[in-house]
Each structure stands twice: as structure tokens, then as C-alpha cells.
Amino acid sequence: MGVIKTNKWIELYLAHSNKRTLKERYRQLFIQPLQSLFSYSSDDALAAFLRDAGMFKPGALHELEKMLQHRHLEIARDHFDFLKEKWNGPNVPIYILLADKSLRQPERAVGGKMGISFSDGIVLFVPFDVNELELKALLTHEYHHVCRLKVTNESEQTITLLESMVMEGLAEIAVEEEVGKSYTAPWTYLYDEDWKSEWYSDFIEKRLQQKGRLAYKDVLYGRKDQGIPRMLGYYAGYILCTNIATVLNKKTEGLMTTPSNTFLQYAERYGVFKNSNQ
């Protein structure tokens, strides 16, 4: 397993597609191979999900040609091998595919790239010109999720808000350690200057043990019509993990197996979310 040779998929797509067969070849080469990971009811349903998540559309031929001119797979393969050995992590398939241009738009706020991770695989959407450190940062974040899920054995349906916050926070600490603080996600410093303690008590505290990411996505990502600041749960998770890492003097590797409730106990003891300036 490891990094899948998706460059071969692209080469076949460019060599054997025309306007009449473009959508069918797109389905055969890029959608069907991912069904084993996502298990959607139909190829059309999976294609719709992947497009919403940020995967390129069938007509992006020029960008796909440029994708082949870069060393993305080689860079990712070397970094994955390094992380897998360092964290004693599982050997999972990693699919690197072209990102849609919409991920570069400010409202998406993901820096032009996106990752989706499961306990048994990772899909990365990146622009053709993603630089080496940006790619390493994205892979570090997503592979840390895989390693954490190996410990917790959670699913999208069983994971609590608290564990989601911890998982996101630890993954960004890993990015800081392995790639550098300048490559951490924008949401890690979103409210450094204007954090309000009532955000925690009003929106997060009573829902920490709620299960299922869909059930609390409003807290994780924010919801304007309910007054929930954007990316609130992500930011709070990062603040939680960085504070506890400092208290315990541990790096993310040493915190990989720490239960989420332990983070919460320390947070309550040290008033992590009561401070106006994080």
C-alpha cells in the first residue's frame, strides 16, 4: 500500500479520453478505485461527494497535464515512510489527486488543498503546484488522524465532539513539529487575539460527549445564523491540545494514546478555556 501511483491514472485519462468518453473515463479511473475506501451506494453518489469535497472535475485536462510534471508522489512516499516508522503507524493506501480550483477561493479557507482520512486510507486533493512543505503538512495532519483512529477505534458515527477536537488539535501539533509552525492551518490562530470564554460555555461545553460528526458539525465548523464562530471547534481543539502538551511537556507522539477525557480534566484544572488571551 502506501502512496498509490495515481499518476498512472492521469496518464491513462489523458491518453484515452475524448469529449464523448470524458465522464465515463473519469468514473472508471478516478471514482471506482475509491469505492473500496468510501463504499458509496453508487459511483454517481461518490462522485458527487468527492466533487463537493474538492476533487477536480472531468474537464481539468490542462491542470492534470501540469500535475504530471511534479514530484508529488515521490515526496509524499518518502514522508509517509518517515512518519510510519516514527509513529509506528499502519500501512494504509494514500491517494493523491488534483484539487478543484474552488478550494483556492477564500470562502473555502483551506489553502487550495483538502484531505479526507479513514482508519484504512487517505485521499488528498492538492493543486498541481502545491509545494513540498504544504504537501508534507497535509499528509502529516491526515496520517496523524489515521494513527489516532487506530488507538481510539472510533467512526464518524461514534466519535464525540471532544475526541474530534482532540484529534484535530493533535494533528496540527504534529504539523508544527514535523514541518513547521508556518505550515499549520489558518484556523489554529483564528481567535488568538479575541477569544471569548463564553464561546466555550455557550456552544461547546454541554455538547462535548455528543456523538457523530454530523450531529455537531455546527460547532466544529461554525454556523453564522446561530452565532457560532467559524471553525470554533477546530480552534478550541488546537488550544486545548497545545496547552495540555505544554503542561505535560509532551510532543504529539507522546500524546497519541492519551484519552480525550484526560485532556478535558487538565483543561478544567488549568482553566484553558477561561483565559481571554490564549
Sequence spans of domains, the chain: 2-152, 161-274
Who has greater pLDDT, 26 or 102? Answer: 26
Q: Give residue 107's pLDDT.
A: 58
Alpha carbons within 13 A on the beta-carbon side of 14: 15
State the average pLDDT over residues 46-57.
95
State the average pLDDT over residues 113-123.
94
**95-115 burial code (b ≥16 CB/10 A, e <16):** bbbbbbeebeeeeeebbbbbb
State the average pLDDT over residues 74-91.
97
Question: Residue 95: beta bridge partners?
Answer: 123
Span between the terminal Cα atoms of the chain, in Å: 41
Q: Which cell is 15 given? A: 491518453
Q: Which cell is 231 given? A: 471553525
State the average pLDDT over residues 164-173.
98
pLDDT band per the 50, 70, 90 thresholds, residue 278? very low
State the average pLDDT over residues 209-236.
96
DSSP assigned state of 183: G
Q: Would you say residue 260 has pLDDT above 60?
A: yes
Averaged pLDDT score across all residues of the chain: 94
Q: Please report, as a single letter, which amino acid is at residue 245.
A: A
For residue range 84-102, what is the model confidence (pLDDT) as tens digits?
999 999 999 999 999 998 8
Q: Would you say residue 180 has pLDDT above 70?
A: yes
Distance from C-alpha of 217 to C-alpha of 166, rounded to nearest angstrom: 15
DSSP 210-277: -B-TTTTHHHHH-BGGGTBPTTHHHHHHHHHHHHHHHHHT--HHHHTT--HHHHHHHHHHHTGGG-S-
pTM score, two decimals? 0.95
Contact 37, 121 (CB under 8 A): yes
Q: Give residue 139's pLDDT.
A: 98
pLDDT band per the 50, 70, 90 thresholds, residue 108? low
pLDDT band per the 50, 70, 90 thresholds, residue 109? low
Q: What are phi and psi of 162, to 5 degrees?
A: -60, -50
Q: Would you say residue 277 has pLDDT above 90?
A: no
DSSP assigned state of 125: E
pLDDT band per the 50, 70, 90 thresholds, residue 276? very low
Q: Would you say residue 133 has pLDDT above 60?
A: yes
